[in-house]
Structure 1
Amino acid sequence: MTLRLFLVRHGETAWSLSGQHSGRADIPLTENGEHEARQLGDRIRSFTFSHVMTSPLQRAQRTCELAGLPRPAEIESDLMEWDNGDYESRTHQEIVATHPGWNLFRDGCPNGEMPEQISARADRLIHRLIELDGDIALFSHSHFGRVLAARWIGLSAKHAQQFLLNTASLSILGYEHDRPDQPAIALWNSAPLERFGGGTL
């Protein structure tokens, strides 16, 4: 079976609403975030996953649980969010007020992870995943998920800035023509259109 990675960002949290950077802070889903996770489950429940992996943070684990997949999830620490260090809980506007021009994907976080570190973490996870087969569900986070996708197709961490991820969105990483030497993004940031300011689909 050809490997496909079903990458899921966790559902809504209070900090995803406020725009606060939530890296290692273990915050819960909102009520709407739990609703999003159940909706996501309706979309992916028909797939048979050879592995289900989740970040150890509760917002990812709870999203996985509410999605209702039959296979027990494996806790995978490399799926954790970017360590924001000194910038944890701060908004982008608050950070650039004191550090003009700051860019997470280029500059990283003081006392947290730098781009080369999160890139190495993504590469380490990919190296293990490509030894597996079939459809694999990965429940993770926005910034790490974006870096994972960039590294999957051979781009640097700084290019992950261009890969936006909505809460409880589904993305699929796979291969062109089922060839392992041609990694590709088959689906990206798939979520109900209402989350983009449009109607439902």
Structure 2
Amino acid sequence: MTLLYLVRHGQTEWSKSGQHTSFTDLDLTPEGEEQARALRPRLDPSEFGLVLSSPRLRARRTAELAGFSNYVVTDDLQEWNYGEYEGKTSAEIRAEHHPGWRLWFNGVPGGETADEVRQRLTRVVRLVRSSGVDKAICFGHGHASRVLALCWMDFPLIFGQAFPVETASLSILGREKESWAMLRWNS
């Protein structure tokens, strides 16, 4: 059985302010760099047979600062495409467009649908499960990591609202007896 480690990128200016960031390619703040370096003592790159990263700079820099240099970039790990809501906070979206807006229920105009996000992160799950390695690790983003975990456990995507992902956090997915399971979250 493969254990899947999920790492959200370290802090950026937009993650700090709560702005939705998908395709905008931001680097880490100095605090984000420190958060990524703090992962080093917790992760030994030699233990991971499969190392994947989103193509975004913030995810790749987190991987590198955590000690991982030989990662494979996959577009399937990029953040949910927020379309017209790129760069906006949830409060701004609610004030300007939709008073009760929540990504998990209402989606985004001009961006990806929940089904599209699920399809590409299900491909990551299939890749990891078929890899034959003991441990795999993915460096990615907040909403995409939630979706990846939900795909791993075959849960409906609306459950994502209940699983916030902190910057530079580490989560572990695997099995509990015969069920796909979340073994650690935001540790």
Q: Which of the five TM-score ranges fits, normalised by the shorter chain?
A: over 0.9
1:22-171 paired onto structure 2 within 5 Å: 22-45=21-44, 48-69=47-68, 72-97=70-95, 98-132=97-131, 133-171=133-171
CA gap 1:54/1:46 in 2 versus in 1, 3 angstroms: closer
* CA contact 1:6–1:171 (8 Å) conserved in 2: yes
Secondary structure in structure 2 of the residue aligned to 1:16: helix
2:49 aligns to what SS in structure 1?
strand
State the distance in 1 between where 2:150 and 2:38 align.
26
Q: Report what 1:196 is aligned to.
A: none
> In 1, Cα distance between the equivalents of 2:156 and 2:111?
19
TM-score under structure 1 normalisation?
0.89
Give 1:43 deviation, angstroms. 1.0
TM-score in terms of structure 2 length: 0.95
- In structure 2, list runs of 5 or more residues that go unmatched: none
Q: Is the CA contact (8 Å cut-off) linking 1:107 and 1:114 kept in structure 2?
A: no
- Equivalence for 1:198: none
TM-fit CA distance, 1:81: 0.3
CA contact (8 A) 2:54 2:73 kept: yes
Per the alignment, residue 189 of structure 1 pairs with 186
The Cα offsets for residues 3-53 of structure 1, whole Å up to 9 and x where unpaired, read as: 010100000000011110011110000001000000012211276100111
The sequence identity of aligned pairs, in percent, is 43
Higher relative contact order at CA 8 Å, sep ≥6: structure 1 or structure 2?
Answer: 2
Task: Name stretches of at least 5 consecutive residues in structure 1 with no aligned partner.
Answer: 191-201
Distance 1:123 1:52 in 2: 17
Q: Distance between the aligned counterparts of 2:31 and 2:171, measured in 1?
A: 20
CA distance in 1, matches of 2:158, 2:42: 31
